Amino acid sequence: MSDPKALSPAVWKSVSTKYKVQNNDLLKALAEYDKLADDDHDELLECIGDIKETAVAYKKSKDAANNKDLLKYIAELISAAEAEQRDVTKQKTEAAKDEKKAADAKKEGDEGDGDDEEEEEEGEYQDKLLMALKKLKGSKGVTYQFIVCDGKPPAVMVAKKIAPKHKDELAKVTGSKRFLHLGACRFDGTHYVFDMEKPVAGLAKKLQESLKHHTGKRHPIRVGTEAAGDEEEGAPAGAATAAATAKTAAQAGAAAVAGAATGTDQKVGMTRPLEIKSSVGKGGKNLPEDVEAIQTALNKKIKAGLVVDGKSGPALIAAITKLQQQMGMHTPDGRVDPGRGTLRALVAPGALPPPPPAPKPVAAPKLGKAELAKAPQVWHGMRDVIDKNIEELKKAVKAHYAHEHPDLVADIEKNLVKLDGITDKLDHRIADTLKKAGAAKDEAARKAELKNAKTILAEYIGYVKSEPLIAHVDANPWVKIDLKKTVIEHITHMAQAIG
C-alpha cells in the first residue's frame, strides 16, 4: 500500500538531507502539488504526472543506483503518485456528476424549492447556516445536503440542495478551495447526523468546532460512528469527554462528581447537585444563579466566608484562586468552568489533599573555556539538566490538571511522554565522538572523529530549529526552562571545543 505522505516536499527534503542528494526538479514538482486544492483536478493530474516522470528518471540516476534505501523511497514515491492519480481521476468524475445533479435539481426545482432557495440567500453565511440547522431540528424526517470546505478553521454549508454558489461562499469564508464530497445531513433527535459515503476520521469534532467558531453555538454532531456532544461552553476541545461526563454525572446526581451543595442560602438546595451553566469568576459570564452556587460551595469547601449574593467580584475571584492553589495549580486563573477540574474539585467529597510542592527547575551550569577533554562531561551535564527540568515540568502539568476528568488526565500524561524524545534526539553521540577524538592515537583518527562530530552538531542544530516541542516547552506557564537557549549555548560550546 502506498503512503500519500511520500508526496510531501518536506519528506523529500528530509530524504535528500539524509542521503546527501539533490533534485530540484522533483522538489519543485512536489511543492507545486502541495499548493494545489483538492478540487483543482486538472492541475493536480498534470502535477502528479510531472512527479512520476521526474521520479522515474531519477530512479535511473547514479545517486539512486548506489543507494538501496533511496531507491526504496523513490519506488514508494512513484507508487503514491500512481495511487493519487487514480484517486484524483475518480474525484474528478464524481465532482462532474455532483455538478450535473445540482444543475438538474436547480432546473427541475418546483415553486416550493424556489422559496427555500430564496430564503437561504438571505443574511450572512452564519445566519443561513443556523436557519438550515433550525429547520432540520424542527422537521421530522427532513434531510438536507451539506458540503465541507477544509480550511483553517473548516466551514460547512447545509442547504436543501448544495449549489456552486455555496462552494463559492465557503471559499470566501475560509480562503480555501479544498472540499470534501457532498453528503446528507439530518437531525435524529439528539444529534445532527452528517452522512457520507466514506466518513472522514475526526470530522465530527471538526464540524462541531467549525459551527462554534462561525455561529457561536456548539451543536451535537455525529459522523459515521464518531460523535461530538454539546459540551458546556468554557470547556476546551481537548476536554470534550471530561465536560460531557461531568455534566451527565452532575445531572444524575452522582456523588463522586456532583456532591451536595449546602450552605445558608436557601436558593441552593441542601441535596441539589451543583450545576452551573457557564463560567464563574475572572473573565466568566457570571450568571447570578451560577455565582450563587459557586459562592455557596466555596463557603462549604474552604470556608471562604463569601456573601451569597450572585455577584462576582474580587472576593469571589480570590476565593477561587485560593481553592485552585490548594488543588496544586501553580498558575490559577480564578475561574470555574462547567465540567472542568476546578468545579470537580469543588464538589468532590472530603477535604482537598495537601498541594504538591512548587516546581524547582535546575539552572544550567555556567560554561567556562571550551576544551576538547572536558566537552563530553559538559554535554552529559546539559542532558542531565534538561532531563531534570522536563520532569519538573511534567509534575507541574500533572498537578495543574490533577482534578480533571480521568480520560483527559490520561490523554495529558500520554502526551507528556513525548517530551522524553527531546533528550533522545540530543543523544550521547557527540560526547562519545569527542571522547574518541581526545583519545585518538594519531592525527588522522582524531580528524576523522572531529569531522564526524561536526556532522552530529549540524544534525542537532537542525533538530532544535525545527522541533515544535522545544518552543512549547519554553512557552509553558509553569516552569521557566529556557531549553532552546541552553541547548544552543552548549552546541556552540561543543563547536568551540572542536576548534
- Dist CA 203 CA 364 (whole Å): 44
443 or 354: whose pLDDT is higher? 443
Q: At 118, is the pLDDT very low, low, confident or very high (cuts 50, 70, 90)?
A: very low
Residue found by looking up cell 563547536 in the block: 495
Q: How far apart are CA 262 and CA 260, in angstroms?
A: 6
Q: Which of 106-110, 150-154, 492-496 has the highest mean pLDDT?
A: 492-496
Predicted local distance difference test score (pLDDT) of residue 131: 87
Whether 132 has a pLDDT exceeding 50, the answer reads yes
Digit-coded pLDDT (tens) for 255-276: 222 232 222 333 333 334 577 8
Q: How far is CA 436 from CA 377, 378, 425, 429, 492, in A?
A: 13, 15, 20, 11, 19
Q: How far apart are CA 483 and CA 121, in angstroms?
A: 53
Domains of the chain: 4-104 (no CATH), 123-228 (no CATH), 253-347 (1.10.101), 375-498 (no CATH)
Top-confidence residue, 112 or 164? 164
DSSP H stretches of helix in 308-374: 314-327, 341-347
Q: For helices 288-302 and 314-327, what crossing angle results, to 10°?
A: 50
**This prediction's pTM:** 0.47
Of the CA atoms within 13 Å of residue 39, those in its CB half-sphere come to 20
Percent of the chain with pLDDT over 90: 33
What 8-state DSSP symbol labels residue 4? G
Q: Assign 310 a pLDDT band (cuts: 50, 70, 90).
A: very high
Residue 495, strand partner residues: none
pLDDT of residue 181: 82
* 297/277 Cα distance (integer angstroms): 15
pLDDT at 43 exceeding the cut of 80: yes
The pLDDT assigned to 233 comes to: 35
Give the model's pLDDT for residue 147.
93
Over 88-157, what HEC string results?
A: HHHHHHHHHHHHHHHHHHHHHCCHHHHHHHHHHHCCCHHHHHHHHHHHHHHCCCCCEEEEEECCCCCEEE
Higher pLDDT pick, 35 / 105: 35
CA distance to 158, 197, 199, 201, 208, per residue, from 224 (Å): 17, 9, 6, 9, 14
pLDDT of 76 higher than 90: no
Q: Is 336 helix (H, G, I), strand (E, B) or coil?
A: strand
Tell me the residue type at 314.
P
Confirm if 275 and 284 have CB atoms less than 8 A apart. no
**pLDDT number for residue 381:** 94
Q: CB–CB of 98/65 below 8 Å? A: no
Q: Band the pLDDT of 315: cuts 50, 70, 90.
A: very high
- In tens, the pLDDT along 474-487 reads 988 888 989 999 99
Per-residue cell: 192: 445532527
pLDDT over threshold 80, residue 296: yes
How far is the C-alpha of 461 from the C-alpha of 487, rounded, in Å? 9
Q: What integer pLDDT is reported at residue 107 of this predicted model? A: 63
Q: Please report which confidence band the pLDDT of residue 106 belongs to, taking 50, 70 and 90 as the band edges.
A: low
Q: Which of 75-79, 100-104, 266-270, 411-415 is the least confident region?
A: 266-270
Predicted pLDDT at 109: 52
Between CA 293 and CA 268 the distance in angstroms is 6
Q: What's the confidence (pLDDT) of residue 495?
A: 95
Q: Is the pLDDT of residue 311 over 50?
A: yes
Question: How many Å is the maximal CA-CA distance in the chain?
Answer: 94
